[in-house]
Amino acid sequence: MRHLLEPTNLTIEEIDQIMEQALDIIAHREKYADACKGKKLATLFYEPSTRTRLSFTAAMMELGGNVLGFSDANSSSVSKGETIADTIRVVSCFADIVAMRHPKEGAPLIAKRFSGIPVINAGDGGHNHPTQTLTDMLTIRRELGHFDHLTIGLCGDLKYGRTVHSLIKAMSRYEGNRFVLISPRELKLPSYMIDEMKTSGIPYVEYDSIEKAMPELDVLYMTRVQQERFSDKAEYERLKLAFILDEEKMKYGKENMIVLHPLPRVGEITEGVDNDPRAAYFRQVENGKFVRMSLIYTLLKWRSEEDNIKERQLMKDTEGKKCDNPHCITTKEPLAQEFYIDTKGIKRCNYCDHEI
């Protein structure tokens, strides 16, 4: 079963397929109106969210499916001390697919291990946020037309910014991309990311100002300093507005560059920038819904293809077989499930327990 915990869980070809399908959804909305009819998405949000949860909900509704879940862990059994492993086992009985956000890094991996349905990571602590990355990529695709040979500036909280980590992981797989990192010293990329970039030979430079980076950039990805991940509130206050993008700085940018932001913004982009045609962050929000529609539909489709393959294999294995117990149902009805069960070396009919 396929899950999406980080962007590299999908191959480049699969990402292309999801992008193409998202574009098709945009062009032919009506075609997908019943694509997930009868299916249920569970949204398990252990951490606050507006955009992501609503975007998942709207996406499933536009596919004709239903949504259940919680947006506040305190209103679920989590507040009684239930583990993720148990919650996901229970949710697997009620839903067909789950989108989960959790403040702890790696939480979706636990969920995946115990889940009977596909798990989508909707953000785990300061670690990953792959559906935001798909959103960012669909925006790049629609605005710039390609994923290669781009200079991508990432500005703000590169340490705790999960959207930044996932975007670098995804975009560094394409040829000719180069990254410009702009952050306070205290909020640089985590060392595991830097090490990975160094060993894989991914080109990057670090700049100490937006103005300096601006003329080189095709994409400027602004981020909020992640207040909720700071243990020292005074440090947050000191760093929160270290880098601000305003109209003046936009003057240094190329004519066809774009500004992205996963939102919410809390002062790092001034409102004056919103009217600049290169400000793509509100268009980006809408792309989030379309790409999540494409993702949910694809994961559910893969799941049912997998079930069909299993079912066909089972049919093949049991073809023409019947139990020699004349009272067994298999002498009358075709087999739909495994014929034998093997208990301590003794083969028995799965239907009547008769020894074969």
- Site residues (CB under 6 A) for ligand NCD? 51-52, 123, 129, 132, 162-163, 224, 262-263
User: Which residue, 162 or 289, is less far from ligand NCD as judged by CB?
Assistant: 162
Residues 6+ apart with CB under 8 A from 214: 153, 220, 249, 250, 252, 253
C-alpha–C-alpha distance, residues 16 and 23, integer Å: 11
State the nearest-atom distance from the C-beta of 112 to ligand NCD, in Å: 20
User: Which residue, 87 or 131, is less far from ligand NCD as judged by CB?
Assistant: 131
- For the CA atoms of 253, 271, 48, 39, the dihedral, rounded to the nearest 10 degrees, stands at -70
C-alpha–C-alpha distance, residues 315 and 334, integer Å: 9
338-339-340 Cα angle (round to 5): 105
User: Which residue, 52 or 318, is less far from ligand NCD as judged by CB?
Assistant: 52
Of 80, 185, 233, 344, which residue is the catalytic one? 80
Of 53, 129, 141, 322, which residue is the catalytic one? 129
State the nearest-atom distance from the C-beta of 154 to ligand NCD, in Å: 13
60: which 2 tokens? 């499933």
State the nearest-atom distance from the C-beta of 287 to ligand NCD, in Å: 12
Are β-strands 346-349 and 340-343 bridged in parallel, bridged antiparallel, or unpaired?
antiparallel
Of 39, 53, 101, 178, which residue is the catalytic one? 101
Of 3, 39, 52, 102, which residue is the catalytic one? 52
Active site residue 327: no
Give residue 109's identity as a one-letter amino acid code.
L
State the nearest-atom distance from the C-beta of 285 to ligand NCD, in Å: 8
User: Which residue, 132 or 318, is less far from ligand NCD as judged by CB?
Assistant: 132
Active site residue 52: yes
Active site residue 102: no
DSSP state of 269: B
Residue 35 near residue 294, CB atoms below 8 Å? no
Active site residue 51: yes
Neighbours of 342 (CB within 10 A): 8
Active site residue 101: yes
Residue 180 near residue 153, CB atoms below 8 Å? yes
User: Which residue, 39 or 165, is less far from ligand NCD as judged by CB?
Assistant: 165
354: which 2 tokens? 């008769």
State the nearest-atom distance from the C-beta of 259 to ligand NCD, in Å: 15
User: Which residue, 181 or 349, is less far from ligand NCD as judged by CB?
Assistant: 181
Residue 322 near residue 328, CB atoms below 8 Å? yes
State the nearest-atom distance from the C-beta of 190 to ligand NCD, in Å: 15
Closest-CA residue to 56 (of 310, 295, 263, 260)? 295
Please spell the DSSP secondary structure of 172-192, one letter per residue.
TTSTT-EEEEE--GGGPPPHH
**Looking at the annotation, which residues are catalytic?**
51-52, 80, 101, 129
